[in-house]
C-alpha cells in the first residue's frame, strides 16, 4: 500500500451554519492506487461528495474546518496554499460533475471551454490547444470532432455533454479522476456507453478513478474497491467482490436488499431501510446507524463502533458492533429471503445478559413514529 497515489487520513470536514455545526465528513480514511478504481457509495447527505470536493480544495471557506491529511503524490493537499492547489486542480486531479448541462458554460463554444482547460496549465499556443481539443473529443468518442469543436453545449445531447465533460477532465492527463455521479442524469443506454468509456480510458491512460454514486449497480461494474459511507463516516470498506459476496454492515445489507434486481425472482419483496438518514448537526449517540438498524442492541446506543478489519479478512473492514459470526448468519438468512424481523433473534441470543431489555425494544420502537414510514404490514 506504500505506492498509494492518494491517501486520505482521518479527514474531518465541518461547516458552521446558523443551525449548528454540520459534521459533513467525520474521520474517514481511504487510499487509491494508480490504475485502480474506488467506488464511494452512500445516500444524499452521507458526505461522499464533500470528501472529494475537499480533495480538490473546493470546500475551503471561512465557515469550514478541515482536519486530517490528504496525501497526493507526497504532498498534503489540506495544507497547500490556494495557488499551489490551483496548479494541481484540473491538471493532476480532475473532476467530472453530475449534471453536464449546468457544468458547461452555455455562452461559449465547447472547443473554447476545452482549450481553456489546456491553456490554464500548459504553455502552448492557441492553435496547439485547439488541436488538443479536437484530439480530446475524438478520444471520448464524439463523431466528427473537427466540426463539433465549434458548437455550443446546447447542440449536444446529454450523453454527448457528459463526454465533453470527460474530455475536459482528461485535457491534462490527470493522475486521478474523480467522477461524481457521472451517469445519474443519463438514460441506461447512455449510462452503459459512459461506463464503458471510463473503463476503456482507464485501461489506456492508466489513471486512478474515484466514482461517487448511490447506485450499487454502477460501482459493481467498474470498481475494484468500494467504501460505503453513512452520516459522514465510512461504515464498510472492501473489495468489490467482498462487498457483494459477503457484506458485513447492516446498512450495506439494506442498500443491497432495497433495490430491485434483474437477476432475482420478480416477486421478491423489497426490504427498505426504515426511517431516513440522520441530521449531521445533531447526530445519534453510539452507532450512527442504530435508529434505523433492525439488529440494534441497547449497548449500540452508547458505544461508537470503529472501522476495524473483520475476523478472517484483513482487507475487509466494517464499523459494526455485532460479531462477525452473527453478521454472517444474518446475511445468509437475508439471502434466503427472511425478513430482518425474523432474524433479530440471532442478535438477542448472542447477548444473553441484556436479553431482558432487548426484548422490549423491537426495532420499530427505535424508529420514531414519524419515521416508521416503511410499508405497512398488510
Partner 1 sequence: MAAGSNGANLLEVRNLVKHFPITRGIIFQKQIGAVKAVDDISFDVKRGETLGIVGETGCGKSTTAKLLVRLLDPTSGTILFEGQDVAAGGKDELKGLHRQMQMVFQDPYSSLNPRKTVGSIIGEPFAIHGLLKGSGERRKRVQELMDRVGLNPEHYNRFPHEFSGGQRQRIGVARAIALEPKLLVADEPVSALDVSIQAQVLNLLRNLQREMGLTLIFIAHDLSVVRHMCDRVAVMYLGKVVEVAPSDELYSFPRHPYTGALLSAVPVAKPSGARRRERQLLTGDVPSPANPPRACRFHTRCPKAQELCSQEEPLLELKSGHDLAACHFPLTESEVKLRLPTALSSTNASTNAHGAGAAADQSSSSSST
Element containing residue 176 per DSSP (H, E) = strand 176-180
CB of 33 to partner 1, least distance (A): 18
Which of helix, strand or coil describes residue 373?
Answer: coil
| Cα 254 to Cα 174, 228, 272, 303, distances in angstroms | 35, 12, 7, 21
CB of 191 to partner 1, least distance (A): 7
User: 62, 260, 314, 353: which one contacts partner 1 (CB under 8 A)?
Assistant: 260
| Cα 83 to Cα 7, 59, 67, 87, distances in angstroms | 21, 15, 20, 7
Using CB under 8 A as the binding rule, whether residue 187 contacts partner 1 is answered as yes
Binders of partner 1: how many residues, by CB under 8 A? 69
Beta carbons within 8 Å of 29's beta carbon, 6+ residues apart: 8, 9, 10, 11, 234, 307
Using CB under 8 A as the binding rule, whether residue 337 contacts partner 1 is answered as yes
Of residues 49-108, those binding partner 1 (CB under 8 A): none
Distance CA 129, CA 115 (A): 5
Distance CA 190, CA 168 (A): 19
The answer to whether 350 touches 326, Cβ cutoff 8 Å, is yes
Using CB under 8 A as the binding rule, whether residue 315 contacts partner 1 is answered as no
Of residues 238-257, those binding partner 1 (CB under 8 A): 240-241, 244, 254-256
User: 125, 147, 349, 364: which one contacts partner 1 (CB under 8 A)?
Assistant: 364
Nearest to 346 by CA among 372, 368, 324, 366: 324
Using CB under 8 A as the binding rule, whether residue 266 contacts partner 1 is answered as yes
Using CB under 8 A as the binding rule, whether residue 19 contacts partner 1 is answered as no
Contact characters 268-297, partner 1, x per CB under 8 A: xxxxxxx-xx----------------x---
**Between 187 and 304, CB nearer to partner 1:** 187
Q: Which three cell numbers stand for residue 294?
A: 433492525
Using CB under 8 A as the binding rule, whether residue 18 contacts partner 1 is answered as no
The answer to whether 50 touches 66, Cβ cutoff 8 Å, is no
Using CB under 8 A as the binding rule, whether residue 338 contacts partner 1 is answered as yes
Interface segment toward partner 1; rule CB under 8 A; list 3-11, 145-153, 165-173, 359-367:
359-367
* One-letter-per-residue 3-state SS of 69-124: EEEECCEECCCCCHHHHHHHECCCEEEECCCHHHHCCCCCCHHHHHHHHHHHHCCC
CB of 108 to partner 1, least distance (A): 22
Nearest to 241 by CA among 316, 305, 351, 162: 316
CB of 339 to partner 1, least distance (A): 4
Using CB under 8 A as the binding rule, whether residue 259 contacts partner 1 is answered as yes
CB of 109 to partner 1, least distance (A): 20
Using CB under 8 A as the binding rule, whether residue 162 contacts partner 1 is answered as no
Contact characters 128-157, partner 1, x per CB under 8 A: -----------------------------x
Residue 242 neighbours by CB distance under 10 Å: 18
Q: Which three cell numbers stand for residue 101?
A: 448541462
User: 17, 63, 65, 258: which one contacts partner 1 (CB under 8 A)?
Assistant: 258
**Between 207 and 271, CB nearer to partner 1:** 271
Using CB under 8 A as the binding rule, whether residue 206 contacts partner 1 is answered as no
Using CB under 8 A as the binding rule, whether residue 265 contacts partner 1 is answered as yes
**Between 281 and 364, CB nearer to partner 1:** 364
Question: Phi and psi for 21 in degrees, rounded to 5?
Answer: -90, 125
Binding site for partner 1 (CB under 8 A): 43-44, 157-160, 187-193, 195-196, 199, 214-218, 220-222, 240-241, 244, 254-256, 258-274, 276-277, 294, 337-342, 363-365, 367, 369-370, 372-378
Amino acid at each position: 500500500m506504500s505506492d498509494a497515489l492518494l491517501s486520505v487520513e482521518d479527514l474531518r470536514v465541518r461547516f458552521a451554519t446558523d443551525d449548528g455545526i454540520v459534521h459533513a465528513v467525520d474521520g474517514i480514511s481511504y487510499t487509491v492506487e494508480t490504475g485502480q478504481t474506488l467506488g464511494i457509495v452512500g445516500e444524499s447527505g452521507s458526505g461522499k461528495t464533500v470528501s472529494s470536493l475537499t480533495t480538490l480544495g473546493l470546500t475551503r471557506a471561512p465557515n469550514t474546518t478541515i482536519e486530517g491529511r490528504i496525501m497526493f503524490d507526497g504532498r498534503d493537499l489540506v495544507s497547500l496554499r490556494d495557488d499551489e492547489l490551483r496548479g494541481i486542480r484540473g491538471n493532476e486531479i480532475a473532476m467530472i460533475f453530475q449534471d453536464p448541462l449546468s457544468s458547461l458554460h452555455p455562452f461559449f463554444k465547447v472547443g473554447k471551454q476545452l482549450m481553456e482547460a489546456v491553456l490554464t496549465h500548459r504553455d502552448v499556443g492557441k492553435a496547439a490547444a485547439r488541436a488538443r481539443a479536437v484530439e480530446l473529443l475524438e478520444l471520448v468518442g464524439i463523431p466528427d470532432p473537427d466540426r463539433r469543436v465549434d458548437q455550443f453545449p446546447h447542440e449536444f445531447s446529454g450523453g454527448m455533454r457528459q463526454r465533453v465533460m470527460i474530455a475536459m477532465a482528461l485535457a491534462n492527463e490527470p493522475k486521478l479522476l474523480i467522477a461524481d455521479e457521472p451517469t445519474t442524469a443519463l438514460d441506461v443506454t447512455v449510462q452503459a456507453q459512459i461506463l464503458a468509456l471510463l473503463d476503456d480510458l482507464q485501461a489506456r491512460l492508466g489513471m486512478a478513478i474515484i466514482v461517487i454514486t448511490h447506485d450499487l449497480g454502477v460501482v459493481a461494474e467498474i470498481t475494484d474497491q468500494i467504501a460505503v459511507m453513512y452520516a459522514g463516516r465510512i461504515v464498510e470498506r472492501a473489495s468489490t467482490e467482498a462487498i457483494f459476496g459477503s457484506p458485513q454492515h447492516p446498512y450495506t445489507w439494506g442498500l443491497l436488499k432495497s433495490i430491485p434486481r434483474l437477476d432475482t425472482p420478480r416477486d421478491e419483496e423489497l426490504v427498505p431501510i426504515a426511517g431516513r438518514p440522520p441530521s449531521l448537526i445533531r447526530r445519534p449517540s453510539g452507532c450512527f446507524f442504530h435508529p434505523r438498524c433492525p439488529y440494534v442492541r441497547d449497548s449500540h446506543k452508547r458505544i461508537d463502533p470503529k472501522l476495524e478489519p473483520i475476523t478472517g479478512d484483513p482487507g475487509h473492514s466494517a464499523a459494526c458492533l455485532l460479531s462477525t459470526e452473527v453478521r454472517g448468519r444474518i446475511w445468509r438468512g437475508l439471502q434466503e429471503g427472511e425478513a430482518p424481523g425474523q432474524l433479530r433473534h440471532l442478535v438477542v441470543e448472542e447477548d444473553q445478559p441484556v436479553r431482558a431489555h432487548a426484548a422490549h425494544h423491537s426495532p420499530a420502537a427505535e424508529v420514531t413514529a414519524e419515521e416508521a414510514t416503511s410499508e405497512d404490514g398488510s
